[in-house]
Amino acid sequence: MAKRVIKEIEKSIELGAIDPVDILGVNNNLLYKLMAGFPTLRVIARGSVIKAKGDQESVLTFEKAVNDLIATRMRKRKLSEDDIDETLFNVRDMMPVAAEGSDKKECDSTGNSDDEHIIGYANEGRTIKARTKNQVKFVEQYTKNDLLFAVGPAGTGKTYVAIALAVRALKNKEVRRIILTRPAVEAGEKLGFLPGDMKDKLDPYLQPLYDALIDMIPPQKLKSLMSDGTIQIAPLAYMRGRTLENAFVILDEAQNTSLSQIKMFLTRMGNNAKFIITGDTTQIDLPNKADSGLAKALELLKGIKGIATVQFTKEDIVRHPLVGRIVKAFEEKMLPMVLTLLLACMSLVPGWCQFMQGVEGGLAPRFKHHVEFLCNDTLMGRAAGSSGELAAAHYIYDKLVEYGVTPITPRNGDDFLLTANQLPGFEENVKDTIHSRNIVAIIEGTDPALKDEYILIGAHYDNVGVNTIDVNGKPRTEIFPGADANASGTAMLIELAREIECSRIMFRRSVIVAFFGAGCQNQAGSWYFLNRSFGQVGNITLMIDLNMVGRSMQSYASGSAANNEFSIFTGVVNWELNKIVDQIKEMGAVLEPKSISIDMQSDHRNFHSSGIPVVLITTGMHRDFMTTRDVPGKLDYQQMEGIAQFTYSLAQAVSERDQKLKSIKDQSYEPVASEDTRGRIYTQHEVDTPASYLHSDEIQFLEKWVYPYVKFPESALRNGDSGRVTAEFVIEKDGKVSNVKIVRGVSEDIDTEVVKVISASPKWKPAVLNREKVRVRTSVNVDFRLRKKGKFGLKK
């Protein structure tokens, strides 16, 4: 097929005499929801004019959507978000194929560029395509036959494609109603008494049909269609005696029907009706499997004109790849061995083997889509407390809900208002207020004994907003997009939430995903979460911080001095965590991080100060940070995919541990061998090249490592202890620090704090004597001084 030429245009849409707030919403909330359905457009609203720029088809469709909303507003006093959903649903079939899309459920986004394989559009304009050879055949046979059987293993998209065809037929007015039915048969277990009325008792059996419809039709629209009978979902027993005309009828799970039931169902067909029957003859839940009528019906109806059968195979499975392997094992009658191996090996499978399975095109296009929305000029740099930050919060919340992740904060987030002097790092006389919100969600763990322990993955989603400068005497507003500060971390966390939810069986502990507001205001969002909002801080076993994860060496033009490598910082005294990181590397991670000893100011520091093990995931600072040049086009989305895989593996590995990670306060430095087993120890003055820390001496070690992490113990503050601690230690031939001891101390608690921090030192560059690495002994003085008001002079 010839490549489609995309023509780009710009169009201005006048709102006329209508108040812009009536169409755009308060703080543009209705406009942002509408824009989510047009991810490829650039939209700006100024006064009573909305400008849209992008490919011609999308712009014209957007214009129709706005005009429809204007017409709706003329009929009613106020627009709602349901009106936006209704409008998107009505214009969606006019939209072109999206360049990027979500891989929702079994059949959204195929990666196939052929337009004829598009079945329709799901919510927010996502395309639903035939993804496999037999799915394409299914769609083709549907157009030629009034009765179609779709038979094959689980996960091949039979039901989802059938419902997508039904929704398309209804929207095109080919039929007047959709009727979905299933036999109410328990799948291998007795559920006993189910409470409620008849609908409540039957809904659990019909839930998969609801799930598919909710994915394709906005909730309010679906409720309306179901209330007026346009869409009906009913158990098979309710079909008896009916004549179904001008209808699209689907019988799902037909393997659980008898031959007489299938006959009853087929004889309901009236004029202008389409019937589709789906089933899997290997998953019969009837007490006597021989009673299943599906196989018998297929044989009896073979060769009749107007009836076709599409046989799906395990190659058509579009769920997790393990589904295909499991189906194959069942076919080969290896069930006992498969179950044994599955249970025994599940915890041994590297995290990246479960990550991103069944995702067409990878995560890079999704990252790009999220980042471009968050960096859109209409969000005005996402400053804390602004309407742009609120729009970003709504976007994040809606994506989590779409992906099936459970939010534990409302759509507007956990709203907070703080004075700046409540936060560490601000002077007492700073009285500015900080207003923002956190969006938090949870993926519950599967182990009843461990699910109340949490792995927290966080990223701040705000940026610094806008700045007004004077250009030739005229004010100009500069917008700071914040692609890597921190739209990149936010985008990665959205997709990590989806991946973890999709494979939650692999997580024994619960995973909390937290999108922090006001990260640019001394990490106010994470401070609020830790100190005011979350009541189970003691149950957090690990905090993973995603900040500035989008840059790489390839992000810059040649000749740049930038050094943006995928890096990981694990805090102070985190031996358990470091070993886990090393194990992931040894198992062949797709992308390995460089361990760094100097971290950046970010949300993990609040958790580290509370003794919680932390990991900072980053690609580091760069020259575009906090400038207008930090734009989506400079991010390396492919590298972000590898970083996300490593993060997933780390979270999964910690989740599977029997024991909780120790608090930083409870860990001690690693034991070392005695001196007489390692050879002579020299002084720094006796060697040709002294040992060095970050290419410098012991002063650099104090400034870059010791003082940033040493704390004044609470007991010392109470007792008023202060003074200078002299600590001596050995730098080994491999650069490790060992044999730390106090030569002159102040108090037991202060001395212990100094030993702990120095013992956790990253590797030094070892000393050299006669071209050979040797051991050296050195010492440092650590000052503990108290201010008059009782604050530690070196540590805020």
Backbone angles phi, psi at 359, to 5 degrees: -95, 110
For residue 38, the SS3 value is coil
CA distance readout (Å), 663 to 444, 450, 459 = 22, 17, 22
How far apart CA 578 and CA 653 sit, in angstroms, is: 12
- Which residues, 6+ apart, have CB-to-CB distance to 253 below 8 Å? 182, 183, 185, 278, 279, 280
Task: Give the H/E segment covering residue 682.
Answer: strand 681-683
What sign for the dihedral angle of Cα 325, 327, 332, 336? positive
Task: Look at residue 637 and tell me whether its pLDDT is greater than 90.
Answer: yes
Give the closest residue to 642 by CA, choosing from 403, 322, 351. 351
Higher pLDDT, 336 or 102: 336
- Which residues, 6+ apart, have CB-to-CB distance to 116 below 8 Å? none
**What pLDDT was estimated at residue 318?**
66
Residues 229-282: pLDDT tens digits? Answer: 888 887 776 777 778 889 999 998 888 888 888 888 888 888 899 999 998 887
Please answer whether residues 405 and 72 qualify as being in contact, where contact means their C-beta atoms are separated by less than 8 angstroms.
no
Task: Look at residue 786 and tell me whether its pLDDT is greater than 70.
Answer: no
What is the mean pLDDT of the segment spanning 384-389? Answer: 94
How far apart CA 703 and CA 487 sit, in angstroms, is: 31
What is the mean pLDDT of the segment spanning 561-574? Answer: 73
Count other Cβ atoms within 10 Å, centred on residue 532: 12
**What pLDDT was estimated at residue 234?**
75
**What pLDDT was estimated at residue 608?**
85
Q: What's the distance, CA 127 to chain centroid? A: 20
Residues 26-48: pLDDT tens digits? Answer: 888 888 888 877 877 888 888 88
pLDDT band at residue 479 under the 50/70/90 scheme: very high
**What pLDDT was estimated at residue 338?**
43
For the ranges 95-104, 530-539, 581-590, the lowest mean pLDDT is seen at: 95-104
Concatenating the DSSP letter of every residue in 204-227 gives: HHHHHHHHHHHHHS-HHHHHHHHH
Q: What's the distance, CA 600 to chain centroid? A: 23
Task: Look at residue 372 and tell me whether its pLDDT is greater than 80.
Answer: yes
User: What's the longest Cα–Cα distance across the chain?
Assistant: 101
Residues 612-629: pLDDT tens digits? Answer: 999 999 998 888 988 999
Alpha helices by DSSP H, listed for 406-512, are 488-502
As beta bridge partners, residue 776 has 682, 731
Concatenating the DSSP letter of every residue in 360-400 gives: TT-SHHHHHHHHHHHT-GGGGGG-TTSHHHHHHHHHHHHHH
Concatenating the DSSP letter of every residue in 496-534 gives: HHHHHHHTGGG-SSEEEEEEES-TTTTTHHHHHIIIII-
**What pLDDT was estimated at residue 104?**
38
- Which residues, 6+ apart, have CB-to-CB distance to 387 below 8 Å? 27, 28, 29, 380
R_g (Cα) of the chain, nearest Å: 31
Task: Look at residue 468 and tell me whether its pLDDT is greater than 90.
Answer: no
For the ranges 271-275, 287-291, 388-392, the lowest mean pLDDT is seen at: 287-291
For the CA atoms of 74, 79, 84, 89, the dihedral, rounded to the nearest 10 degrees, stands at -50
What is the mean pLDDT of the segment spanning 696-704? Answer: 87
What is the mean pLDDT of the segment spanning 445-455? Answer: 91
Q: What's the distance, CA 655 to chain centroid? A: 17
Q: What is the DSSP letter of 540?
A: E
Percentage of the chain lying above the pLDDT 90 cut: 27
How far apart CA 421 and CA 418 sit, in angstroms, is: 8
pLDDT band at residue 486 under the 50/70/90 scheme: very high
pTM assigned to the model? 0.49
What is the mean pLDDT of the segment spanning 709-729? Answer: 83
- Which residues, 6+ apart, have CB-to-CB distance to 289 below 8 Å? none
**What pLDDT was estimated at residue 683?**
83
Backbone angles phi, psi at 235, to 5 degrees: -65, 155
Backbone angles phi, psi at 458, to 5 degrees: -130, 155
| Mean per-residue pLDDT of the chain | 80
Please answer whether residues 532 and 415 qualify as being in contact, where contact means their C-beta atoms are separated by less than 8 angstroms.
no
**What pLDDT was estimated at residue 426?**
63
How far apart CA 303 and CA 385 sit, in angstroms, is: 67
Give the closest residue to 795 by CA, choosing from 572, 592, 623, 634. 572
Structure tokens at 787: 């201010």
**Helix, strand and coil percent figures for the chain, each rounded to 5:** 40, 20, 40
Q: What is the DSSP letter of 692?
A: B
Bridge pairing between strands 433-443 and 406-407: antiparallel
Which of 7-11, 94-98, 506-510, 596-600 is most confident? 506-510
Give the closest residue to 402 by CA, choosing from 510, 252, 502. 502
**What pLDDT was estimated at residue 330?**
56
What is the mean pLDDT of the segment spanning 192-220? Answer: 63
Residues 43-83: pLDDT tens digits? Answer: 888 888 888 888 888 888 888 888 888 888 877 778 887 77
Please answer whether residues 713 and 719 qualify as being in contact, where contact means their C-beta atoms are separated by less than 8 angstroms.
no
Which of 56-70, 185-199, 288-302, 626-640 is most confident? 626-640
Which of 292-301, 526-535, 700-709 is most confident? 526-535
Higher pLDDT, 636 or 556: 636
Burial tier of 535 (Cβ tally within 10 Å: 0-12, 13-18, 19+) = exposed
Task: Give the H/E segment covering residue 726.
Answer: strand 723-731
**What pLDDT was estimated at residue 464?**
93
CA distance readout (Å), 577 to 386, 580, 645, 734 = 38, 5, 17, 20
**What pLDDT was estimated at residue 186?**
47
- Which residues, 6+ apart, have CB-to-CB distance to 265 below 8 Å? 181, 236, 239, 251, 257, 277
Task: Look at residue 181 and tell me whether its pLDDT is greater than 70.
Answer: yes
**What pLDDT was estimated at residue 117?**
66
Task: Look at residue 610 and tell me whether its pLDDT is greater than 50.
Answer: yes
For the ranges 448-452, 482-486, 504-508, the lowest mean pLDDT is seen at: 504-508
Bridge pairing between strands 767-769 and 772-784: antiparallel
Burial tier of 432 (Cβ tally within 10 Å: 0-12, 13-18, 19+) = exposed
Backbone angles phi, psi at 625, to 5 degrees: -60, 130
**What pLDDT was estimated at residue 147?**
92
**What pLDDT was estimated at residue 348?**
45
How far apart CA 572 and CA 557 sit, in angstroms, is: 35
For the ranges 270-284, 520-534, 707-721, 726-740, the lowest mean pLDDT is seen at: 707-721
How far apart CA 126 and CA 415 sit, in angstroms, is: 31
Bridge pairing between strands 767-769 and 406-407: unpaired
Structure tokens at 774: 């040797």
How far apart CA 691 and CA 777 sit, in angstroms, is: 9
Concatenating the DSSP letter of every residue in 270-316 gives: -TT-EEEEEE-TT---SSSGGGB-HHHHHHHTTT-TTEEEEE--GGG
Angle 56-75/29-36 helices, nearest 10 degrees?
140
Burial code (b: 16+ CB inside 10 Å, e: under 16) for 85-100 equals bbbbbebbeebbbbeb
What is the mean pLDDT of the segment spanning 429-452? Answer: 87
Residues 650-671: pLDDT tens digits? Answer: 999 999 888 888 876 665 444 4
How far apart CA 646 and CA 352 sit, in angstroms, is: 7
